[in-house]
Homo-oligomer: A and B are copies of this chain.
């Protein structure tokens, strides 16, 4: 597993990408993951090109290794961000919420590897046809924005649909998940939730404490009604949102409920108003550790599992 189509494509040691988490994945986290042998990813979700340019520069000071930037295709200031990424020639761009078709040519001309996140085999096919270098098949057990398909069902169907390498995401936090994704046909994995516990991840301590306390059933999906479902920890905020979501509350009022909730979680650790994005695999988290140690541990588990498997009879 250590050498795969993805490690070859991206020139990295381990086939592990760190998820681009809005308002969380910054230069510090991304550089730590890349230094640790995976592919760190900076989130461009703020929509602020100046800030993003600085993050990219900072990451380059922190590591010589390749890293990526994640762009939500429904975000603000998209054209300017896309142009900045081409200008900065970042190693990898991952995209969410659609087909990055209109930017692919520009990015590839800048030497960028383009890897869209896809929630279905159909979008995987479209992205491959548009020139994507790989796709990330992400199941709805992940934290943050989620689709309806799950990793176990989505991954093999995406692998059957395209010839480019497929990266599995959603519900993966240890060596077992890495090997399972492998069996389903993935050449690598993307991990978000577990990297929230990285020492270099600067979310509020209350956020980390809540993750450590989480069980398997501690997350909830809200926002389906407005077409932007997200998975987060069950908190007073998310429970209240879920309670009112299907009442006669107006779309505007519902939308207003969520404004600032991400920042309230990430920056303030505000348990009442914060939306603490997290995946179903949160229950496995048991401590804070440096990103490099997380990567090493996961890959050691995967290697040990591989050794076990080699001893199996048919």
Contact = CB atoms under 8 A, between A and B. Distances in A.
Interface of A: 1-3, 120-122, 139-141, 148-154, 156-158, 160, 170-172, 174, 176-177, 179-185, 215-217, 220-221, 225, 246, 248, 279-281, 283-284, 303, 305-307, 309-310, 312-314
Contact of A312 (B1, B154, B156, B215): B1
A158 B246 CA distance: 32
Contact of A174 (B154, B156, B176, B179): B156
A284 B156 contact: yes
24 contacts: A1-B314, A3-B313, A120-B215, A120-B217, A121-B217, A122-B215, A148-B217, A150-B151, A151-B152, A152-B170, A152-B180, A152-B281, A153-B170, A153-B280, A154-B280, A156-B174, A156-B177, A156-B284, A176-B185, A179-B183, A180-B180, A183-B183, A183-B309, A309-B310
Q: Could you say how many copies of this chain the assembly holds? A: 2
Contacts of A154: 216, 280
Contacts of A184: 176-177, 180
A71 to B, nearest CB: 23
Contacts of A160: 284
A258 B152 CA distance: 29
Contacts of A248: 248
Contacts of A225: 246
Contacts of A2: 313-314
A51 to B, nearest CB: 33
User: Max chain B CB contacts within 10 Å: which of A157, A183, A225?
Assistant: A183
Contact of A150 (B122, B185, B280): B280
Contacts of A303: 314
A74 B182 CA distance: 38
Please give me the 9 A-B residue pairs with the lowest Cβ-Cβ distance, nearest first.
Answer: A152-B171, A153-B280, A153-B171, A179-B183, A150-B150, A180-B180, A246-B246, A141-B150, A157-B216
Contacts of A3: 313
Nearest to A157: B216
A153 B216 CA distance: 8
Contacts of A156: 174, 176-177, 281, 284
Contacts of A1: 312, 314
User: Max chain B CB contacts within 10 Å: which of A172, A217, A220?
Assistant: A217
Contacts of A152: 139, 141, 150-152, 170-172, 177, 180, 281
